[in-house]
Amino acid sequence: MNAPTSVPANTQATALGYPRIGPNRELKRALEAHWSGRLDAAGLEAAAASVRSGMLDDLAVLDTVPTGTFSLYDHVLDTIVAVDALAPRHRREGELASYFAAARGDEEAVPLEMTKWFDTNYHYLVPEIGPETVFAAKPGKAVAEFLEAKARGLDARPVLLGPVSLLLLAKPSEDAPADFAPFDRLDDLVEVYVELLAALRDAGAELVQIDEPALCADRSEVELAAVAATYRQLVARSAIVVAGGYGPFGEALPVLLEAGVEGVALDLVRGRSDLEALEALNVSRETLLLAGVVDGRNIWRTDLAQAGADISRLQRISDRVAVSSSSSLLHVPVDLDAEHELPDALIERLAFARQKLREITALADPEGSRAARPDAPDAWRDEAVRSRLAELGADADRRIPYAERQAAQAERVPLPLLPTTTIGSFPQTAELRNARAAHRRGLMIDADYKARMKAEVAIVIAEQEKLGLDVLVHGEPERNDMVQYFAEQLTGFATTAAGWVQSYGSRCVRPPVLYGDVARTAPMTVEWTSYAQSLTEKPVKGMLTGPVTILAWSFVRDDQPLAETADQVALALRDEVADLEAAGTAIIQVDEPALRELLPVRAASRAAYRDWATRSFRIATAGVRPETSIHTHLCYSEFGEVIDAIAALDADVTSIEASRSKMEVLADLDRANYRSAVGPGVWDIHSPRVPAADDMAEALRLAVAALGPERVWANPDCGLKTRRYEEVRPSLEGLVAAARTVREQLA
Ligand code: MET
Ligand SMILES: [Zn+2]
């Protein structure tokens, strides 16, 4: 800890990538104007150029700037274009039309699938690669953006997503044979990367950053051998620094170094084990080491003392250490200076992208600050919460066995076979959003706002009664967002004014900041649920967001383990669950759509994650009486790796996105010994299509065949807030009819 932290005068400052949507979401606005026909291609390009120029203005404080990290939609799609691997169905007259056809689909073709980028809330477009894919080098964008930076006299370093990651992130094209894997095409793809590198070198690039985030996940021997062969070939063309950015390189680290890369960019926030690994390896003093000491994924100020110590450790290994971010800064908002409402104590502890660049330059400066980060102020501690958690009994997360609960619940709320329900939200009209916004800005008084929301609840209840659903919801009209709604009411959270982060394409989110101990000061949802219940004889589900999802969609304090923070959130939810139960709510749903998202990239860390994640859910829910039913909801597909965790939530009913995957999740659940009830989504609510009742009935029959009739619920894949009533009414009519049909067949 007390190692000297003197930095050689030639230490360089750099970063791995930068936010690309614009400080005020300029690109988002331009994209949406373009898509709606209000802005032509030239106008869009002008807006994009201005965003790129702004990125370079910011990055210019660095000694070396990454280029090519701008994107009109997604950097994986940019790479698909750079290797000319667009699927035939997305090829249109113009480049831009092809690009957006792949990104968003059009009348002729469905878009590429979208999925989460590692353990982040960013979504990338999944490449479709088959034996038939013909790769070709299209270096245009990479070269142009490099030259833009060069023209300013900047020392520019082009960034490409690497061939290994591109193929590992891809899925086989539709017509690929069953035994084909995109990774089989690595050799062909490497040839194209050789050409891309040649084009960049011709343009004057001396060093290229190749991002291989897939190397932060567990890789097989075969894959690592392929990595070695790939990089031996690529380093013959260009000096390459390989970046991971999402944890340690682990066993890929020696492989890369032996292949002869110029250097590696280390994630010293989440991948600290690479530091020790590197010390144990015999590394040439010429190796370029980018010390990723500034967190690219979270918004807390860097502990400059700790970072300085890490840099010194690397300097004992190599003469060429540069200071950098741990990953691209893509995952943080642009500028803290845009925040005028946050308390000073918080401002003093935060750094957004611009502030992070300053931290990097300070660390590269021999005279720069090495101040240790101050601890959180005492005022952010809540001793009551801490002692309550410490005193929570060992069985606070246990309920009696499911079979016994189930009997008590069936007696309390008798339901037909295949009970019909929805996931929570109902369509949010512009008028509704306007009312919420007016209230937030103080333009609508509380009483008027409440009356407006209650009127909406009454509409939603009436709709559901008319449709004949069995278990109703209040519709969530009062929620802007399922996490922010709770963050605004819990202590320890702040919301930003302009802390936007790209989620996908033009879509941005503004995650709340969880900075201190979390506590609930008053009931958060009871009034709405109780009001809804007062309007109907049918049971109304209470509706909460679970601890894991609240953490996943916030910027979370990094001064204590996530598990501890999760338990605090869980305790607050436990009180809310108790209040709902006391108010007579028989069914309480606690949504955990982000359960999969926080799953660690490396298998070795997963068991610990499953333990704390599921325990926090159970702390939130296990305080209820046996006859109170706990539901949970998961969506965003690909549950294979969290099936055990789903079972460990010990919910009475799990509604789960299933329509796209044709109910495959049911067999997985069965294998994981999940024994309670399931509501496999039978309506893909992400599509504007009204599903046919027959198809939904067929899906229900599949579910009944897999689980038995007693364990199946009928519901959509997810909430309905993005849909319109014109779609929702006929779809739910069909859903209710489908459930009735299958019930009759079972009778
Ligand atoms: C992303 S999951 C959404 C669940 C929430 N209850 C809703 O219906 O909108
Ligand atoms: Zn959902």
Three-state SS for 147-188 is HHHHHCCCCEEEEEECHHHHHHCCEECCCCCCCCCHHHHHHH
Radius of gyration of the chain (CA): 26
Q: What is the ipTM of this complex?
A: 0.99
Atom 3 of ligand 1, nearest CA residue: 719
Q: Which atom of ligand 1 is nearest to 423's Cα?
A: 8
Q: Please, where are the H alpha helices in 488-561?
A: 526-534, 547-552
Residue 550: its H or E element: helix 547-552
Between 640 and 691, the higher pLDDT residue: 691
CA atoms of 242 and 164, how far apart (whole Å):
11
Report which listed range, 112-121, 258-267, 634-643, 680-689, is most confident.
Answer: 258-267
Cα dihedral: 387, 390, 392, 394 (round 10): -170
6 falls in which pLDDT band (50, 70, 90)? low
Provide the 3-class DSSP secondary structure of residue 292: strand
Amino acid at 191: E
Residue 5 has a pLDDT of 53
22 is written with which tokens? 């614009």
Ranges of H-type helices in 585-720: 606-621, 643-648, 664-671, 693-707
Beta bridge partners of 520: 490
* Of 553, 393, 504, nearest in space to 72 by CA: 504
E runs forming strands in 127-259: 128-129, 156-161, 171-172, 207-211, 239-243
Largest CA distance in the chain: 82
Alpha-carbon span 627 to 405, nearest angstrom:
6
| Token pair recorded at residue 483 | 């996490």
End-to-end CA distance of the chain: 72
How many angstroms separate the alpha carbon of residue 633 from the centre of ligand 1? 8
Catalytic: 439?
no
CA dist 178 and 163 (Å) reads 22
The reported pLDDT for the residue numbered 660 is 76
Rounded distance from Cα 286 to ligand 2 centre (Å): 50
Nearest 10 degrees: CA dihedral of 21, 24, 27, 28? 90
Residue 295 pLDDT greater than 70, yes or no: yes
Q: How confident is the model at residue 673 (pLDDT cuts 50, 70, 90)?
A: confident
Distance between CA atoms of residues 21 and 500, nearest Å? 9
| Strand ranges for 218-272 from DSSP E | 239-243, 263-267
Nearest to 77 by CA among 44, 29, 111, 119: 111
Residue 596 is encoded by which pair of tokens?
A: 């999969």
Q: Which residue has the tokens 């971010």?
A: 325
- Tell me how crowded residue 708 is: count the other CB atoms within 10 A of its CB: 10
Class of domain 406-429+464-746: alpha beta
Residues with CB under 6 Å of ligand 1 are 423-425, 482, 543, 591, 593, 633, 635, 718-719, 721
At 114, list the tokens. 């979208």
Name the average pLDDT for the chain.
96
Residue 595 CB-density burial (10 A; 0-12 exposed, 13-18 middle, 19+ buried): buried
Indicate the top mutation candidate among 469, 481, 591 to test ligand 1's pocket, ranked by most ligand atoms within 8 A of CB.
591
Q: Which residues pair with 321 in a beta bridge?
A: 289
* Strands 156-161 vs 65-67: parallel, antiparallel or unpaired: parallel
Buried b (16+ CB within 10 A) or exposed e, 202-221: ebebebbbbbbbbbbbebee
Residue type, 615: R
Residue with tokens 């008590």: 408
Which residues does residue 591 pair with via DSSP β-bridges, in sequence order?
545, 633
Collapsing DSSP states into helix, strand and coil, what is residue 431? helix
CATH T-level assignment (fold) for domain 12-20+53-374: TIM Barrel (3.20.20)
- Cα separation of 164 and 606, whole Å? 24
* Contact between 716 and 738 (Cβ < 8 Å): no
Number of neighbouring beta carbons within 10 Å of residue 546? 30
Q: What is the pTM of this model?
A: 0.95
Residue linked to tokens 């300097």: 315
What residues are paired with 292 via a beta bridge? 267, 324
Q: Label residue 659 by pLDDT band (50, 70, 90).
A: confident
Cβ-based neighbour number of residue 319 at 10 Å:
13
Residue-wise pLDDT tens digits, 381-418: 999 999 999 999 889 999 999 999 999 999 999 999 99
Structure tokens at 664: 């495959």
105 close to 146: Cβ distance less than 8 angstroms: no
The structure tokens listed for 568 are 């605090």
Quickly state the pLDDT bin for 687 (edges 50, 70, 90): confident
Candidate from 718, 722, 732 with most ligand 1 atoms within 8 A of CB, to mutate:
718
Residue 638 has pLDDT above 90, yes or no: no
User: Going by CA atoms, what residue is nearest to atom 4 of ligand 1?
Assistant: 719
Cα of 204 to ligand 2 centre, how many Å?
A: 48
Report DSSP state, residue 226: H
CA–centroid distance, residue 419 to ligand 2 (Å) = 19
- Residue 635 assigned to a binding site: yes
State the pLDDT confidence band at 640, using cuts at 50, 70 and 90.
confident
Between 113 and 588, residue with greater pLDDT: 588
By alpha-carbon position, which residue is closest to atom 2 of ligand 1? 593
Which segments of the chain belong to CATH 3.20.20.210? Answer: 12-20+53-374, 406-429+464-746
* Residue 192 scores a pLDDT above 60: yes
> What is the number of other CB atoms lying within 10 angstroms of the CB of residue 654?
25
Q: Which ligand is nearest to the CA of 637?
A: 2
Q: Whose CA is nearest to atom 6 of ligand 1?
A: 424
